[in-house]
Structure 1
Amino acid sequence: MSRKVVNVAAGVITREDGSFLIGQRAPGTFYPGYWEFPGGKVEAGESPADALKRELDEELGIRVERLYPWLVREHAYEHAHVRLHFFEVPQWQGAVNDHVHSALAWVQPGHVDRSPMLPANGPILKALRLPRRMGITCAAAMGVAAQLDALDQALAQGLGMVQVREAGLDARERRAFATEVVRRAHAVGALVVINDDEALADEAGADGLHLPARRLAELTQRPAFEWVGASCHSREELERAAALELDYVLLGPVKETLSHPGQPALGWDAFAALRADLPMPVFALGGLDDADMTDARLAGAHGVAAIRSCWRTPRRD
């Protein structure tokens, strides 16, 4: 017998140093002692965003000034089937004070030293490790040496994720280039995914694999890499990526691009509608640069992926 789905709003409250807030559930509640993201049940007539604002005021004594829609995940607990609407909360007023939890803690992505966490939060913790900007290489167009120089500059200024997409290089050049990108990126802690080539991803020591839409349509199970993402252009492709439990997707083009002249652009409203209620982070793609980050986040994007603008004006994640 199916149970009624309970909608819950949860906040990833962040500080400028990248840390986020978690709370420990108090005795007398379900899962006492477990750590969770602050939030609570969406009441009748409330939107998830309004519910989160109310809950954070009640639980922590803070007033939300800005929030970004992010992920929606479902989880069947013993006591309830919940749909969790996660928002990122980068700006608020007031001092954080604990009103309902046993304890509060600020933790860094990838360094969460509190346990146990509520079972639904494992994928959320992994998603928070994803940088906000992805640079997509174009060495075949700009030249290998120029691309590596631009990569060094971008990495020095904080670029956190690189996708190697080089179908225009021959096999030997592509292998040497990918290996060098991985070496330089890993030296500063950045992630590297290889487009459409599992063997090269393994050989180069990359962190994962990026799937073009045609490969996504062919797969019946998730490839065996720590990080797997895909390029998507439709709701059907996005839902397929979700069913395969991919770690992220790219969705676009949001604006017209030089690489695809004349291809209709989505715009932010259509982007927001397509990505609504997805369980994994979505990067906005297509004619974007750092100046578009706020619009992207307001539309529910995890961040921005770019080709030319990334190598022209890199910024810190």
Structure 2
Amino acid sequence: MPEHKQTIPVVAGALMRPDGQFMLGSRPAGKPYPGYWEFPGGKVEAGETPLAALVREFQEEMGITVTHATPWLRRVHHYEHASVELLFYRIWAWQGEPQPHEGQAFAWQQPGHLSVKPMLPANDPILRSLQLPDVLNLTCIAETGRDALLDKLAQHQDAPWVIVREPQKNREQLAALVGEISEIIHPRGGKLIVNADPAWLKGWPVDGVQLNSQRLAACEARPHFAWVGASCHSRTELDRAAALGLDYALLGHVQATASHPGQAALGWDGLAACLAPAAPLPVFALGGLRTANLDAARQAGAHGVAQMRGAWQ
């Protein structure tokens, strides 16, 4: 890998529609990688904050005024011509209609189903992150009861992502529960992830594994599953999860919870401080939260929220 004397700070933004579609732009002639597709953005100028740079770049590139954007992800990428530190934002609201001011093209895309290529290499992990949901649902059968949990899942009209977290169950009990949940959510396109020893899950109808903090610390390489997440409590653990190439992390607890009596919560300011200037991988805020807290979590730099008791009430 070539060494570069300086890393260039760059901002990039994903315009987000309510249906989950996002916008990509092509790189114009005269720039490195002409014709490649990317998330629009540009360099952060001296004395400029990343958010101010984002607003300026979108005004210059496509003539829109960004009115609501939240920090999302940080990536460092080494190109042949330069190293760049990319701070990605998701843009939820803007004024005006995007117009190509620099001879580029724009295209709305559906997560997981791109219709344009080639993509700028630095953006591959970002595209995968957009396939993640806004909300993850963690099971807690000791409190909800098995029947109530399965009934609630059956009532879902969407395709939920469920993390089975039942440390009190042995392998056989866990396998039976996973099978029951799979029969409900997989026909609707939902995803099923299990917090357990990865070796247990061979042959189970799962989409991924969730590593607790002990397994994360002991992990030397990413487990071979389509989706791999980790439960984290600090920026150090988040950075380790990112270094292993994991897809997301849970971070908490943000608010006081019944399962953590007497333990100090991060709070929203603590969450934002832990994720600043942007998270190294998509983070779901956890701890006393539910879907109603989604915007606050995004403002703090999280991808979304993970809810436990709130998911089954």
2:165 paired with 1:145: no
Partners of 2:193 and 2:287 lie apart in 1 by 19
Aligned residue number for residue 302 of structure 2: 301
The residue type equivalent to 1:281 in the other structure is P
Q: Is the 8 A contact 1:133 1:304 kept in 2?
A: yes
The residue type equivalent to 1:27 in the other structure is A
Q: What displacement does 1:101 show?
A: 4.2
Flag structure 2 segments of 5+ consecutive residues without an equivalent: none
SS in 2 for 1:72: strand
Aligned residue number for residue 315 of structure 1: none
Post-superposition Cα deviations, 1:95-139, rounded to whole Å, max 9, x if no partner, equal: 111112431100010111211000001000000000010000112
Aligned residue number for residue 31 of structure 2: 29
Q: Is the 8 A contact 2:4 2:82 kept in 1?
A: no
Q: What displacement does 1:182 show?
A: 2.1
Q: Is the 8 A contact 2:159 2:189 kept in 1?
A: no
Aligned residue number for residue 107 of structure 1: 109
Q: What displacement does 1:17 show?
A: 1.7
2:128 paired with 1:126: yes
Aligned residue number for residue 9 of structure 2: 7
Partners of 2:197 and 2:131 lie apart in 1 by 23
Q: What displacement does 1:221 show?
A: 1.1
Q: What displacement does 1:279 show?
A: 2.3
2:167 paired with 1:167: yes
Normalised by the length of structure 2, the TM-score is 0.96
Q: What displacement does 1:12 show?
A: 0.6
The residue type equivalent to 2:74 in the other structure is V
Q: Is the 8 A contact 1:65 1:91 kept in 2?
A: yes
Q: What displacement does 1:159 show?
A: 5.5
Q: What displacement does 1:197 show?
A: 2.6
Aligned residue number for residue 216 of structure 1: 216
Partners of 2:45 and 2:207 lie apart in 1 by 41
2:284 paired with 1:283: yes
Aligned residue number for residue 235 of structure 1: 235
Q: What displacement does 1:226 show?
A: 1.4
Q: Is the 8 A contact 1:242 1:278 kept in 2?
A: no
Partners of 2:106 and 2:263 lie apart in 1 by 48
2:98 paired with 1:96: yes
The residue type equivalent to 2:178 in the other structure is A
Q: Is the 8 A contact 2:279 2:302 kept in 1?
A: no
Partners of 1:214 and 1:168 lie apart in 2 by 17
SS in 1 for 2:292: helix
Partners of 1:121 and 1:22 lie apart in 2 by 10
Q: What displacement does 1:202 show?
A: 3.0
SS in 1 for 2:123: helix
Q: Is the 8 A contact 2:182 2:192 kept in 1?
A: yes
1:122–1:303 distance in 2 versus 1, CA, 3 Å: same
Partners of 2:12 and 2:4 lie apart in 1 by 24
The residue type equivalent to 1:86 in the other structure is F
Aligned residue number for residue 203 of structure 1: 203
The residue type equivalent to 2:19 in the other structure is D
The residue type equivalent to 1:279 in the other structure is P
How many correspondences in the alignment? 310
Post-superposition Cα deviations, 1:19-60, rounded to whole Å, max 9, x if no partner, equal: 111011112211011001011110001111110000000111
Flag structure 1 segments of 5+ consecutive residues without an equivalent: 313-317
SS in 2 for 1:240: helix
Partners of 1:101 and 1:284 lie apart in 2 by 39
Q: What displacement does 1:170 show?
A: 3.5
SS in 2 for 1:162: strand
The residue type equivalent to 1:151 in the other structure is L
Partners of 1:126 and 1:19 lie apart in 2 by 13
Of 56, 66, 69, which residue of structure 2 is paired with 1:67?
A: 69
The answer to which of 166-175 and 303-312 deviates more is 166-175
Partners of 1:175 and 1:34 lie apart in 2 by 45
2:178 paired with 1:178: yes
Partners of 2:119 and 2:251 lie apart in 1 by 30
Q: Is the 8 A contact 1:134 1:159 kept in 2?
A: no
Aligned residue number for residue 20 of structure 1: 22
Q: What displacement does 1:172 show?
A: 2.5
